[in-house]
Amino acid sequence: MPSNTLDGLAAELAAAVAVVTPQINGFQAILSVPTLSGATQQAMQADLDAHRRRRVRINDAQALLGELVTSIQDLVDDGYPAAVVEVPLTADIVAELEAQRAAYSAAFGEIGLGDVSGDATASILGAVSDLKTSSDQLKTSVDANANTTTIQQPPAA
């Protein structure tokens, strides 16, 4: 069963390459013997193909693991898990949103779609306020639980 840590998985994949590569070399050596029967050659070729396929899949997994580690480090470098953006919900922003609501309401009325209800605007403004509250709570939680995350690049294949 694969490891449940990135470093453990990287080590397992490196160990798998170390096992399968000599096996591939052995099958290639056997196939170079000119006196093998056709049946033996077919069997050895099938084994060689299976081992090569496995090595390709291991190499693909190693490459993806490297990309994953890089992506996680990029997230950490970007400040993750802290909130992405602090949403300053100032009186000016609320006034602008209210003005936009009034403009949309008038435009909808002019094209016959009816009025934009105050309830819809209240819901939007409530959602913005909830986002600000959630952002503040996340920041507080992250600050309270300040921990460090260390990400290491897996060993090269």
Decide: 128 and 89 in contact? Cβ < 8 Å.
yes
Q: Which domain holds residue 137?
A: 91-144
pLDDT in tens, the chain (157 residues): 677 788 999 999 999 999 999 999 999 999 999 999 999 999 999 999 999 999 999 999 999 999 999 999 999 898 888 877 777 778 888 888 888 888 877 777 777 766 555 555 555 555 555 555 555 555 555 445 444 444 444 455 4
Res 17: pLDDT: 97
Residue 68 in domain: yes
Res 4: pLDDT: 79
Residue 1 in domain: no
Residue 52 in domain: yes
CA distances from 86 to 79, 89, 95, 136 (A): 13, 9, 19, 8
Q: Are residues 15 and 52 in the same domain?
A: yes
Q: Choose among 65, 23, 60: nearest CA to 44.
A: 23
Q: Are residues 15 and 72 in the same domain?
A: yes
Q: Are residues 11 and 60 in the same domain?
A: yes
Q: Are residues 61 and 18 in the same domain?
A: yes
C-alpha span between 62 and 72 (Å, rounded): 15
Q: Is 126 helix (H, G, I), strand (E, B) or coil?
A: helix
CA distances from 106 to 55, 98, 109, 112, 114 (A): 65, 12, 5, 10, 9
Residue 38 in domain: yes
Q: What one-character DSSP code corresponds to residue 79?
A: T
Q: Are residues 51 and 100 in the same domain?
A: no
Residue 99 in domain: yes
Looking at the whole model, is its pTM more than 0.85? Answer: no
Domain count, the chain: 2
- 55: CATH: 1.10.287
Residue 152 in domain: no
